[in-house]
Amino acid sequence: MKCCEEENFSHGNLVPYGNIEMSPSAGILNYGQGLFEGLKAYRKEDGCDVLLFRPEQNAQRMKRGAERLCMPSPSVEQFVEAVKQTVLANKHWVPPPGKGSLYIRPLLFGSGPHLGVGPAPEYTFLIYVVPVGNYHKGLLNLVVEDKFHRATPGGTGGIKAVTNYSPVYKVVTQAKAKGFSDVLFLDALTGKNIEEVSACNIFIVKGNVISTPATHGTILPGITRKSIIEIALSFGYQVEERVIPVEDLLEADELFCTGTAVVVTPVTSVTCHNKRVEYKIGVEMVSQKIHVMLTGIQTGRIEDKMGWTVEVD
């Protein structure tokens, strides 16, 4: 099989959660040839139906990542069907409305043995699920990281490669030890522009303009980010995807982070070179309006005019 081909991933089966066996020389273990995705299933307000949020977007992102890492990938249809089947089999684990969601973790990795540096001869696509509460640890206080970077131009920052995450453990752990919630990374080329947080995208608000860093391959194109851009436009805001110099943080009215885990979470402060900037928090915030709309659609409370949700039945 040539790398990047769509393999037949349709012969999967449902098995109880447990350990998996792998060769010690598996591509994922030796060379990090692996991708993951993250999405959520919400129980509708009526308590019966379960909704997925834009699962085909995760499928497409996984396909793009597989192409970059020289792996075959499931088709969009196979991916979405596998997610649906897994959620259906675990429907009893989807928390009641308002109490959280079922987090869905698809993984695609080189599971076949290969000693030399190169694509593995076999691949595994698997999905596991876990019920999670609402993230709302509340608010984020970020620290700007000016020494370490999350991604470099031409690297894998724009895909959900498993190897993108452990390189940030050190700085995030150090930041948390100092009382920050997370780290805001700058671009590696100039060190002057904001990119994203370790596992979420960032937006800044100034008047009627909502800006977020343009992705350009070093920032993960978040599905929440994409959805929020569409919601903000529908609300009449001007949305800009652009280079955002770190100085723009000083002028911003409001900052918020977005992602499957954090959904839409306001940032209370950013610390850069020991200088701390604070942001207003309140019900009249732009992020609050967007949060209500996004979560309303995700849980079926607000009519899904965008056609984003998929029922699991």
Among all residues, which ones are annotated catalytic? 160
- Residue 310's region, left for phi above 0, alpha for psi from -120 to 50, else beta, is beta
Which residue in 12, 32, 38, 217 binds ligand PMP (CB under 6 A)? 38
Q: How far is the CB of 135 from ligand PMP (least distance, A)?
A: 11
Q: CA–CA separation, 273 vs 192, rounded Å?
A: 13
Cα angle, residue 191 at apex, residues 188 and 196 outer, rounded to 5°: 70
Beta-carbon contacts of 56 under 8 Å, excluding residues fewer than 6 positions away, are 76, 79, 80, 310
**Closest to ligand PMP by CB, 184 or 246:** 184
Q: Looking at 196, 279, 291, 312, which residue binds ligand PMP (CB under 6 A)?
A: 196
Tokens of 68: 């970059």
Q: Given candidates 28, 52, 194, 200, which one binds ligand PMP under the rule CB under 6 A?
A: 200
Relative to beta strand 201-206, strand 209-213 is antiparallel
Q: Any contact of residue 201 with ligand PMP (CB under 6 A)?
A: yes
What is the smallest separation between the CB atom of 8 and ligand PMP, expressed in angstroms? 27
**Member of 74, 119, 213, 259 binding ligand PMP (CB under 6 A):** 259
CA distance 121 to 119: 7
Q: Does 222 bind ligand PMP (CB under 6 A)?
A: yes
Q: Give 212: exposed, middle or buried? Use CB within 10 Å, 0-12, 13-18, 19+.
A: buried
Among 26-34, 125-133, 218-226, 294-302, which window interacts with ligand PMP (CB under 6 A)? 218-226
Give the burial string for 178-189 (b: 16+ CB within 10 Å, else e): eebbbbbbbbbe
- Total of chain residues touching ligand PMP, rule CB under 6 A: 13
Residue 223 interacts with ligand PMP (CB under 6 A): yes or no: yes
220 lies in the binding site for ligand PMP (CB under 6 A): yes
119 vs 213 by CB, closer to ligand PMP: 213
Q: What is the CA 112 to chain-centroid distance, rounded?
A: 27
Considering only 33, 215, 260, 265, the residue that binds ligand PMP (CB under 6 A) is 260
Nearest to 216 by CA among 234, 242, 238, 177: 242
Tell me which stretch binds ligand PMP (CB under 6 A): 1-9, 63-71, 174-182, 197-205.
Answer: 197-205
**Residues of the shown chain interacting with ligand PMP in the complex, contacts defined by CB under 6 A:** 38, 196, 199-201, 220, 222-225, 258-260
